[in-house]
Amino acid sequence: MFLSWGGNEFQRRGAEQLNALLPVVVRRAEGTDGCMEEEDLRERDAGGDQTNMGGARLWMALNEEELYLVKWRGFPESDNTWEPKRNLKCPKLMKQFHRDLEQELRRHKRRCTPKRLDKEVASYLVQKAKLRQILQRWEAHLNQTRNHPGRIFVLNEVDFEGPPKNFTYINNYKVGQGIVLDEMAVGCECKNCLEEPINGCCPGASLHRMAYNDKGQVRIRPGQPIYECNSRCSCSLDCPNRVVQKGIQFDLCIFKTENGRGWGVRTLQHIKKNTFIMEYVGEIITTDEAERRGHVYDRQGSTYLFDLDYVEDVYTVDAAHHGNISHFVNHSCNPNLQVYNVFIDNIDERLPRIALFSTRAIRAGEELTFDYKMQIDPVDTESTKMDSSFSLAGLPSSPKKRIRVECRCGSDSCRKYLF
């Protein structure tokens, strides 16, 4: 699908298909050889008042006038119209369109805009704009669904994959059939849980120490449980022993990785060491159900099953179809996140909440990862209560029979295989 010019006029080939295309562009000024440098659109806002656009357009020049094929928001594509640049007030969309064009031309090692837009480039730009709109709608849905301060952004600059199918964003555990969460029976009577804890506050009631410092950073070893203050406690919501329950505090971006690892998550803000990032949330199911689902996921080549075996292996979290942003966090053999078991309003030690904390300072723009086969420090006396690995329910325990999954984390300490 393309546009071509004959003398001082253009011909549209495949008009019906072009009207169905959303964003594509080509340009040639009369009297040139068809190879012009792109103009800086940032200083050239167009006139007119038709700004309610869907964000996609075909673009060309006729007698030195740029024309754009516009998809109008709220109207079918059969109502697309050709508009001169002076009629359009959409500088952000214009910039985005030309960035897409320049990126695609660079990919084809072209330094300037050709006389006509060939089918391959046109198809790329159309799919790119349609995908961007789909991801923007998904991003808006995620932010309408979340109950935490941290915003969620979505970006795919790699291919045309859209949002995952059959995935529902949730903020808390989805309890499976036949599973009951026991609410916390008692709370602390502290007024200042950190400096003046009464009977050791909530951690002391379970013979454990306070997990956080005055800045909310975890200060206990991985493998030791975290007991936060709960809804029955006398302390305020600003209590320093309320961290995980406040939810994600950082702006995070779900992005498509360039090395075949699927979607990933990066932070858009600097994160200090030992800081809470997110919970691993999903559907709580029994180990028997996890075993059944595990065989299905094995055939699909992926799984999101996390065994809750802090004291005994009875329940599993399945984040395949119900989960939060942790669903998209990738594995690394040298991760920057660590898992902790957390108890807040639930006294059943078989059902801890799974929290991810930073193991070091993390730069803005850096990908977040954790080790799917993490090892707990054997010196830690609590390590016997926590499984020594991020278990995949349904996979045989024998190394000889275990499915081999190649690791692509790229770290110097990479083990080459995830499982």
DSSP 3-state helix, strand, coil percentages of the chain (rounded to 5)? 20, 25, 55
Cα diameter, the chain: 89
Cα separation, 61 vs 38, whole angstroms? 13
> If DSSP codes are grouped into helix, strand and coil, which group holds residue 190?
coil
Spatial contact of 357 and 284, defined as CB atoms under 8 Å apart? no
Buried b (16+ CB within 10 A) or exposed e, 56-67: bbbbbbbeeebb
| DSSP-derived secondary structure letter, 346 | B
Tell me the pairing of strands 322-323 and 3-6: unpaired
Phi, psi of 215 (to 5 degrees): -100, 5
35 annotated as belonging to a binding site for a ligand: no
* Annotated binding-site residue? 201: yes
Cα within 13 Å of Cα(396), Cβ side:
7
CB 145 within 8 A of CB 248: no
Enclosing H/E stretch for 292: helix 287-300
User: Is 188 annotated in some ligand binding site?
Assistant: yes
Is 112 one of the annotated binding-site residues? no
Consult the annotation and say whether 235 binds a ligand: yes
Q: What is the DSSP string of 130-146?
A: HHHHHHHHHHHHHHHH-
Task: List Cα–Cα distances, 168 to 145, 292, 316, in angstroms.
Answer: 10, 21, 18
Report residue 126: phi and psi, to 5°. Answer: -65, -50
Q: Consult the annotation and say whether 253 binds a ligand.
A: no
| 414 belongs to an annotated ligand binding site | yes
Annotated binding-site residues read: 188, 190, 193, 201-202, 229, 233, 235, 239, 333, 407, 409, 414
Annotated binding-site residues for Zn(2+) read: 188, 190, 193, 201-202, 229, 233, 235, 239, 333, 407, 409, 414
